[in-house]
Structure 1
Amino acid sequence: MSEPSATPHPRIRLDDNFASPIRFSLMASLGDGIELDFAALREILQCADSPLSKAITHLQAGGYVVARKASLGSRPRTWVRSTRLGRDAFEGHLQALREIVALGGQNSL
């Protein structure tokens, strides 16, 4: 049996808020300064209204996105953008994934 490493495994830094493929893809779509409306996000993510709405609500509760509602003509619209907290958390999640992949490459036979 090998000795435990002094450095915690990067999986510990994975953010459960991005465990859902839709939430992960939503954050990936919302880069710095990008604001997209609900219809555009639905098309980009190729998902139905309900799962997208739930993903937005979940990420908004965590402070990772902000949803802004307004009207365009007589039609109500929702625009979504990531927050600094959300972008930082997503980048940390991506970095942990990169480190996990790198560790796997070190263990090749």
Structure 2
Amino acid sequence: MSTGNDANTPAADPRSTGHPTNGLNDTVHQRHRLGILTIAAESERVEVAYLRTALELTPGNLSRHLAVLEEANLIQIERGYHGRRPKTWIKITQQGQNSLRAEINALQELLRRHQSSAPKAR
């Protein structure tokens, strides 16, 4: 049973849905997929080899995460060549941008609530 939002449904404002964790999206929240989306949002497109190195993933593990994100329409995968060398790039979709923004908003609200309720050190 999934406790987060479906990747195809934008996360609701966590302040209006009870606890901020209700705004987390299971597809986006997984740490490697969150890393992929965050890196992809920083540029027009990113080479898969860079993601593998930056996130310290095996080719198979990265491939699986990319497949999950592509199936959820959060990224597009482009295959081509740079000179004679085959290359693969990913690009974050608008839906991916929206899902990433909603995830970050939910995390910020969770942090805000935690910091405002944390006992003060003496």
Shorter-chain TM-score bucket reads 0.7 to 0.9
Q: Percent identity?
A: 22
Higher-Rg structure is 1
- Please name the residue that 1:40 is paired with: 50
Name the aligned partner's letter for residue 99 of structure 2: A
Pair 1:59-2:69 in alignment: yes
In structure 1, C-alpha distance between the alignment counterparts of 2:86 and 2:17, rounded to whole Å: 50
The TM-score, its normalising length taken from structure 2, stands at 0.77
Where has structure 1 moved over 4 Å in runs of 4 or more? none
Count how many residue pairs are aligned between Structure 1 and Structure 2: 104
Q: CA deviation at 1:63?
A: 0.5
Give ranges in structure 1 of 5+ residues lacking alignment. 1-5
- Please name the residue that 2:85 is paired with: 75
Q: 1:20 aligns with which of 30, 45, 64?
A: 30
The Cα offsets for residues 50-88 of structure 1, whole Å up to 9 and x where unpaired, read as 111111110000000000111334432211010010011
Give the RMSD, CA atoms, in angstroms.
Answer: 1.7
Give ranges in structure 2 of 5+ residues lacking alignment. 1-15
Q: CA deviation at 1:33?
A: 4.7
- Please name the residue that 1:102 is paired with: 112
